[in-house]
């Protein structure tokens, strides 16, 4: 009746729990995804992601400044072109004055090397059919023709100031193609954050609104099937062999086993992307009073880090970084 071993002893107070915590979130772990849109005068709310907006260039700069001052580890920029500028090959993606490249340039001018500036290297925001690549005569996504577009986009993003490129289209050979092109241009310091294991997910739903996606159909011929785990390890190994500097798993919460598996084999930093649907689910449940918002956010991020991701892309990056920055010993005394 009287246990000798009492694990509860280490849970008796906030200070004791802090002392023995195995996983501690830090502001620098968190990367903020941001959307910059062409042709808007005011930031435009994204209704399925309350609290997230499509930025104007000015509001982008202000929000980036706030994030960097909160201590986030980096910024990941997505471009939302004017719908009239979308076409079959996503020309606005590599145009030097395309919205994403303009946004990158503005942020690099403002922030220099004080943060890590990342770019989404993918065509889906820029194509009129909404796919991540160009299509062949039969309407299928053409892998190798798409690589040429990614190379051109990468060079444009690197010269616009991105420190890290984020190829997210799951084309075979994309990391090798981009690495070779960067090196040929002497852009050897520009790194690649590879979306190595990216699954076709229903949880991307709100992102489609966030970028005004034109997609009909789905991405199941290039993104991974949620049934598969070993395939993810193969994708990661390929990206490492092709020269990825960081590998990412996406989405995060429904794929924590994959994050753990990848952390075990990767000898580079591992990132995970807490995607739009994960943000929206927690936000919606909290709005209804069904869960404690702040506690759920912290728990979700802690779980992703505990699973093995040292870098977490999250729409809450600024808010959580600010909150973490305010945690003090005095705050625990009670
Ligand atoms: C593709 C891309 C997507 C996301 C990031 N990059 C959409 C997709 O693959 O369908 C989703 C991010 C999110 O849902 O938060 N460029």
Instruction: Please state the φ and ψ torsions of residue 278, each to the nearest 5 degrees.
Output: -70, -45
| Rounded-to-integer distance, Cα 283 and Cα 122, Å | 27
Q: Angle at Cα 143 formed by Cα 191 and Cα 103, nearest 5°?
A: 45
Per annotation, catalytic residue among 55, 149, 198, 219:
198
Taking alpha carbons only, the member of 332, 301, 334, 299 closest to residue 19 is 332
Q: Give the Å distance between the CA of 8 and the centre of ligand 1.
A: 42
Q: Angle at Cα 303 formed by Cα 250 and Cα 255, nearest 5°?
A: 30
Q: Give the Å distance between the CA of 66 and the centre of ligand 1.
A: 24
Phi-psi region of 123 (alpha: psi -120 to 50; beta: other; left: phi over 0): alpha
User: Who lines ligand 1 at CB under 6 A?
Assistant: 120, 122, 124, 132, 168, 204, 207, 219, 275-276
Mean pLDDT of 166-177: 98
Per annotation, catalytic residue among 250, 256, 279, 316:
250
**pLDDT tens, residue by residue, 1-27:** 899 999 999 999 999 999 999 999 999
* Helices 143-160/174-184 angle, 10° precision: 40
Q: Between residues 200 and 325, which one has the greater pLDDT?
A: 200
Residue 216: its pLDDT value, please? 86
| Rounded-to-integer distance, Cα 108 and Cα 88, Å | 29
- Contact between 193 and 166 (Cβ < 8 Å): yes
* Closest ligand 1 atom to 274 CA: 15
- Contact between 53 and 44 (Cβ < 8 Å): yes
Q: Whose CA is nearest to atom 5 of ligand 1?
A: 168
- Contact between 229 and 261 (Cβ < 8 Å): yes
Q: Give the Å distance between the CA of 205 and the centre of ligand 1.
A: 9
Asked whether the bond before 146 is cis by omega within 30 degrees of 0, the reply is: no
Instruction: Please state the φ and ψ torsions of residue 43, each to the nearest 5 degrees.
Output: -55, 140
Q: What percent of the chain has pLDDT above 90? A: 95
| Rounded-to-integer distance, Cα 2 and Cα 38, Å | 68
Name the burial class of residue 128, with classes exposed (0-12), middle (13-18) and buried (19+) by CB atoms within 10 angstroms of its CB: middle
Q: Give the Å distance between the CA of 204 and the centre of ligand 1.
A: 6
**pLDDT tens, residue by residue, 183-210:** 999 999 999 999 999 999 999 999 999 9
Q: Which of 204, 274, 313 to mutate to test the pocket of ligand 1 (most atoms within 8 A of CB)?
A: 204
Taking alpha carbons only, the member of 302, 255, 307, 251 closest to residue 279 is 251
Buried b (16+ CB within 10 A) or exposed e, 93-118: bbbeebbbbbbbbbbbeebeeebbbb
- Asked if residue 118 has pLDDT above 70, the reply is yes
Phi-psi region of 316 (alpha: psi -120 to 50; beta: other; left: phi over 0): alpha
**pLDDT tens, residue by residue, 24-51:** 999 999 999 999 999 999 999 999 999 9
Active site residue 198: yes
Tokens of 87: 């076409």
* Closest ligand 1 atom to 276 CA: 15
Q: Is 334 helix (H, G, I), strand (E, B) or coil?
A: coil
pLDDT band of residue 329 (cuts 50, 70, 90) is very low
Q: Whose CA is nearest to atom 12 of ligand 1?
A: 275
- Contact between 141 and 168 (Cβ < 8 Å): no
Q: What percent of the chain has pLDDT above 70? A: 98
Active site residue 86: no
Q: How many CB atoms lie within 10 A of CB 52?
A: 24
Radius of gyration of the chain (CA): 20
Residue 331: its pLDDT value, please? 45
Q: Which of 122, 130, 195 to mutate to test the pocket of ligand 1 (most atoms within 8 A of CB)?
A: 122
Mean pLDDT of 82-87: 97
| pTM of the predicted protein model | 0.96
Residue 326: its pLDDT value, please? 78
Q: Give the Å distance between the CA of 11 and the centre of ligand 1.
A: 39
- Contact between 304 and 316 (Cβ < 8 Å): no
**Mean pLDDT rounded to a whole number for the chain:** 96
Residue 327: its pLDDT value, please? 61
Instruction: Please state the φ and ψ torsions of residue 70, each to the nearest 5 degrees.
Output: -75, -10
**pLDDT tens, residue by residue, 230-262:** 999 999 999 999 999 999 999 999 999 999 999
pLDDT band of residue 125 (cuts 50, 70, 90) is very high
C-alpha distances (whole Å) from 191 to each of 16, 155, 278 are 40, 12, 27
């Amino acid at each position: 009746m009287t246990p000798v071993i009492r694990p509860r002893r280490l849970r008796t107070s906030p200070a004791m729990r802090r002392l023995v915590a195995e996983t501690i979130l830090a502001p620098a772990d968190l990367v903020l995804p941001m959307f910059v849109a062409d042709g808007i005068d005011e930031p435009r709310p994204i209704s399925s992601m309350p609290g997230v907006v499509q930025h104007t260039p000015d509001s982008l700069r202000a929000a980036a400044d706030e994030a960097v001052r909160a201590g986030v580890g980096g910024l990941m920029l997505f471009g939302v072109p004017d719908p009239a500028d979308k076409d079959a090959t996503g020309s606005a993606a590599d145009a030097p004055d395309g919205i994403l490249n303009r946004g990158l340039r503005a942020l690099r001018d403002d922030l220099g090397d004080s943060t890590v500036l990342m770019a989404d290297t993918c065509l889906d925001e820029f194509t009129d059919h909404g796919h991540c690549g160009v299509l062949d005569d039969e309407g299928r996504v053409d892998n190798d023709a798409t690589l040429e577009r990614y190379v051109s986009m990468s060079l444009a993003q690197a010269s616009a100031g991105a420190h890290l490129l984020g190829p997210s289209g799951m084309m075979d050979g994309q990391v090798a193609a981009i690495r070779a092109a960067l090196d040929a241009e002497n852009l050897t310091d520009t790194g690649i954050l590879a979306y190595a294991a990216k699954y076709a997910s229903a949880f991307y739903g709100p992102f489609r609104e966030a970028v005004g996606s034109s997609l009909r159909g789905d991405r199941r011929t290039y993104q991974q099937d949620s049934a598969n785990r070993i395939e993810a390890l193969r994708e990661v190994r390929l990206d490492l062999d092709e020269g990825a500097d960081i590998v990412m798993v996406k989405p995060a919460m429904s794929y924590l086993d994959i994050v753990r598996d990848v952390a075990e084999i990767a000898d580079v930093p591992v990132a995970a992307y807490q995607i739009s649907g994960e943000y929206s689910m927690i936000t919606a449940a909290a709005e209804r009073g069904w869960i404690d918002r702040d506690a759920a956010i912290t728990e979700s991020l802690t779980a992703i880090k505990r699973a093995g991701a040292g870098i977490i892309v999250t729409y809450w990056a600024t808010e959580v970084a600010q909150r973490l920055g305010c945690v003090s010993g005095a705050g625990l005394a009670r």
